[in-house]
A and B are shown apart, each in its own frame.
Chain A
Amino acid sequence: MGPDETATTETQVAEPAEPEVPTVEVQGGKPKGGVQRLEFGSGDQVRFKVESDVADEIHVHGYDVAKDVEAGGSATFAFKGTIEGRFEVELEQRGVQIAELEVSP
């Protein structure tokens, strides 16, 4: 039972002007490196990106935002973090949690 310790984000260090957008990678219908937590403050702009090698619908619970993603494609989410709490980010058709969104006061 050895979880993949080397899981990292695909950060672009080269472009300092661009604010870092956390990316969730989906490989074979599962989150690479396990379920990651995306943390934001209440009222902040929630931004993250999902890169997936499978086609599915990505659903952010609570906020009830959903976007389709194609196999090999990506989907970018941007909305205001108005609801506090922890929310499941899920591949809707597969019913697999791929990330956890946290908006704290």
Chain B
Amino acid sequence: MRQRAALVLGAVAAAALIAPAGAWAHGLVGRQDLPIPRWLFAWGAAVVLVVSFVALAVLWATPRLQQVQERRLLGVPRALEVVAGGLGVAAFAVVVYAGFAGTQSATANLAPTVIYVAFWVGLPMLSLLLGDVFRAFNPWRALGRGFGWAARRIGGEGMPEPMAYPERLGRWPAAVGVFAFAWVELAYAQRDDPSTLVTLALVYAAVQLVGMSLYGVERWCDRGDAFSVYFGLFARLSPLHWRDGAVYGRPPLSGAPRLSPVPGTVALLCVMIGTTSFDGFSQGTTWSSIAPDLQSFFADLGLASDHALEAAFTVGLVGVCLAVALLYRLGVAGMHTVGEHKSTEDLSHKFAHTLVPIALAYVIAHYFSLAAYQGQALASLASDPLGDGSDVLGTASATIDYQWITATGIWYVQVGALVLGHVSGLILAHDRALAIYSRARDATRSQYWMLAVMVAFTSLGLWLLSAAAQQ
């Protein structure tokens, strides 16, 4: 019988200064994960190392994932696309309405849980399983297409052609958009305020409509719309591919090598990995020892207390994203020294897609329990979206079952996701190396560098979840 009833003081007293923003990322979270124990950390790290070296020895010797045949599974009627788009717009309207008209308590209003849990965390996982489903439901894309259709009906042939999308812009708008969302979630003081959130959602949608009207709906969604690009990247790992009015089957991961490495792609992936890392990092002791100093530095510059805290978190967010970018760059610089001395810029682009599974693994490791628990709140929130006591669907009194998976079960999901992400990244990198190096020996040697990068990312991921970082 363990009767451990201890109070942790000292260090916690210091941490408490930033506790509202640090320890509890937002008011939405009723339960936080326990840090993974040391034994599991050790096992996870050991498996990663063994798998990596075994992979070097046994992986195939000719590229397999660069050109794959997709198998047509079934056709998708065009009407279904229209229906899905309509549903997306309707859901968006309900969330915006709830955000403005409903209670401003974060947990009792539908908007924050839909935005932070169903949308931001649920859709990446869904995209892995089912492919790019967001594309069909994307409300601003549906609106953009609707407006385009109406304009053509009214204006006839006189409609101007969209401008050519600037090549140099690439995926930069998406990188900026994902960073902005992460900033709102992790640094912004009003992150839980329903009306603020939906105001930002409306602003975002308006910007997308402008982008689509300038450059064309599909072009903008492929490059500029942060969420289309974000979910679309994860969907590349999926065995399902929706295109040309049909669903196609393909080997998992095989969509990733087709990623065109336009400008901003590497930045986007570093933002994705960096912001998730910072979410974990900001809950740990290292950050809680730095943050008060940063906060008081900004307070001394004349910022009010909460803005100083926002500034401190912004610095942290940018810092971790840059650290992730630097790590990837180091690996690429290492590869540059091998064999034919390919340019680092070129290598950086050619291996960008290998970061996609790592980014998804980070998302799952950090947010699985949020989806697993807070996701259940959608049942009651959907029935009472405004938090005014109504019960539209009869499920308003549904509660969250915190016991369907144990803390140990969550640990296995977290470590499992990181190990699988690691292996997937290695496979993609290995396959790409075989495709671009003319000598197999150079391909293998170049991969020592990528291996080091992947091991670093996975160890970082494990460390962020561990007691060493979380305390």
Q: Which residues of A contact B (CB under 8 A)?
A: 1, 3-5, 7-9, 19-22, 31, 33-42, 44, 47-48, 61-62, 64, 82-88, 95-97, 100, 102, 104-105
Query: Once the chains bind, are B14 and A3 in contact (CB under 8 Å)?
Result: yes
Query: Once the chains bind, are A84 and B406 in contact (CB under 8 Å)?
Result: yes
Smallest distance from the beta carbon of B330 to chain A beta carbons, Å?
35
With a cutoff of 8 Å between Cβ atoms, the chain B residues found around residue A40 in the complex are 4-5
Smallest distance from the beta carbon of B212 to chain A beta carbons, Å?
40
Query: Once the chains bind, are A36 and B8 in contact (CB under 8 Å)?
Result: yes
Query: Once the chains bind, are B8 and A97 in contact (CB under 8 Å)?
Result: no
Q: A84-B406, A88-B24 are in contact. Are A35 and B15 (CB under 8 A)?
A: yes
25 example contacts (A-B, Cβ-Cβ < 8 A) are as follows A1-B17, A3-B17, A5-B13, A21-B5, A31-B16, A34-B12, A34-B14, A35-B16, A36-B7, A37-B12, A48-B5, A62-B30, A62-B402, A83-B402, A85-B31, A85-B369, A86-B33, A88-B24, A88-B32, A96-B20, A97-B19, A97-B23, A102-B34, A105-B34, A105-B407
Contact of A61 among B3, B10, B13, B31 (CB under 8 A): B31
Query: Once the chains bind, are A84 and B15 in contact (CB under 8 Å)?
Result: no
Give A42 to B31 CA distance when docked, in angstroms.
15
Query: Once the chains bind, are A37 and B7 in contact (CB under 8 Å)?
Result: yes
* Chain B interface, number of residues (Cβ within 8 angstroms): 38
Query: Once the chains bind, are A83 and B31 in contact (CB under 8 Å)?
Result: yes
Q: Does B296 contact A (CB under 8 A)?
A: yes
Query: Once the chains bind, are B407 and A84 in contact (CB under 8 Å)?
Result: yes
With a cutoff of 8 Å between Cβ atoms, the chain A residues found around residue B13 in the complex are 3-5, 7, 33-34
Select from chain B the residue with minimum beta-carbon distance to A85: B31
With a cutoff of 8 Å between Cβ atoms, the chain A residues found around residue B296 in the complex are 1
Contact of A39 among B5, B31, B369 (CB under 8 A): B5
Contact of B9 among A36, A95, A104 (CB under 8 A): A36
Give A66 to B95 CA distance when docked, in angstroms.
29
Smallest distance from the beta carbon of B111 to chain A beta carbons, Å?
18
Contact of A37 among B8, B24, B403 (CB under 8 A): B8
With a cutoff of 8 Å between Cβ atoms, the chain A residues found around residue B369 in the complex are 85
Q: Chain B 395-429 against A: per-residue CB contact (8 Å), 1 yes, 0 no?
A: 00001001100111000000000000000000000
With a cutoff of 8 Å between Cβ atoms, the chain A residues found around residue B154 in the complex are none
Query: Once the chains bind, are A62 and B17 in contact (CB under 8 Å)?
Result: no
Give A64 to B401 CA distance when docked, in angstroms.
11
Q: Which residues of B contact A (CB under 8 A)?
A: 1-10, 12-17, 19-20, 23-24, 27, 29-34, 292-293, 295-296, 369, 399, 402-403, 406-408
Q: A5-B10, A39-B5 are in contact. Are A34 and B402 (CB under 8 A)?
A: no
Contact of B12 among A35, A48, A95, A96 (CB under 8 A): A35
With a cutoff of 8 Å between Cβ atoms, the chain A residues found around residue B23 in the complex are 35, 97, 100
Prevailing SS type, chain A contact patch: loop
Give A61 to B403 CA distance when docked, in angstroms.
14
Give A57 to B403 CA distance when docked, in angstroms.
25
Query: Once the chains bind, are B7 and A22 in contact (CB under 8 Å)?
Result: yes
Give A83 to B29 CA distance when docked, in angstroms.
15
Give A74 to B27 CA distance when docked, in angstroms.
25
Give A1 to B23 CA distance when docked, in angstroms.
18
Query: Once the chains bind, are B17 and A34 in contact (CB under 8 Å)?
Result: yes
Select from chain B the residue with minimum beta-carbon distance to A48: B5
Query: Once the chains bind, are B34 and A34 in contact (CB under 8 Å)?
Result: no
With a cutoff of 8 Å between Cβ atoms, the chain B residues found around residue A37 in the complex are 7-8, 12
With a cutoff of 8 Å between Cβ atoms, the chain B residues found around residue A19 in the complex are 3, 5
Query: Once the chains bind, are B3 and A44 in contact (CB under 8 Å)?
Result: yes
With a cutoff of 8 Å between Cβ atoms, the chain A residues found around residue B24 in the complex are 88, 97
Smallest distance from the beta carbon of A56 to chain B beta carbons, Å?
16
With A1-B296, A86-B34, A87-B30 already in contact, 6 other A-B pairs whose C-beta atoms are closer than 8 Å: A1-B17, A5-B10, A64-B399, A86-B31, A97-B23, A105-B407
Select from chain B the residue with minimum beta-carbon distance to A34: B16
Contact of A85 among B6, B293, B407 (CB under 8 A): B407
Q: A82-B403, A86-B33 are in contact. Are A34 and B5 (CB under 8 A)?
A: no
Contact of A97 among B3, B20, B34 (CB under 8 A): B20
Give A87 to B8 CA distance when docked, in angstroms.
15
Give A1 to B27 CA distance when docked, in angstroms.
25
Give A3 to B15 CA distance when docked, in angstroms.
9
Smallest distance from the beta carbon of B234 to chain A beta carbons, Å?
27
Select from chain A the residue with minimum beta-carbon distance to B8: A37
Select from chain A the residue with minimum beta-carbon distance to B34: A104
Give A31 to B8 CA distance when docked, in angstroms.
13
Select from chain B the residue with minimum beta-carbon distance to A33: B13
Query: Once the chains bind, are B7 and A84 in contact (CB under 8 Å)?
Result: no
With a cutoff of 8 Å between Cβ atoms, the chain B residues found around residue A36 in the complex are 7-9, 12
Smallest distance from the beta carbon of B468 to chain A beta carbons, Å?
16
Select from chain B the residue with minimum beta-carbon distance to A100: B23
Give A70 to B32 CA distance when docked, in angstroms.
29
Select from chain A the residue with minimum beta-carbon distance to B32: A86
With a cutoff of 8 Å between Cβ atoms, the chain A residues found around residue B6 in the complex are 22, 39
With a cutoff of 8 Å between Cβ atoms, the chain B residues found around residue A62 in the complex are 30-31, 402
Query: Once the chains bind, are B4 and A41 in contact (CB under 8 Å)?
Result: yes
With a cutoff of 8 Å between Cβ atoms, the chain A residues found around residue B4 in the complex are 39-41, 44
Contact of B31 among A1, A5, A21, A87 (CB under 8 A): A87
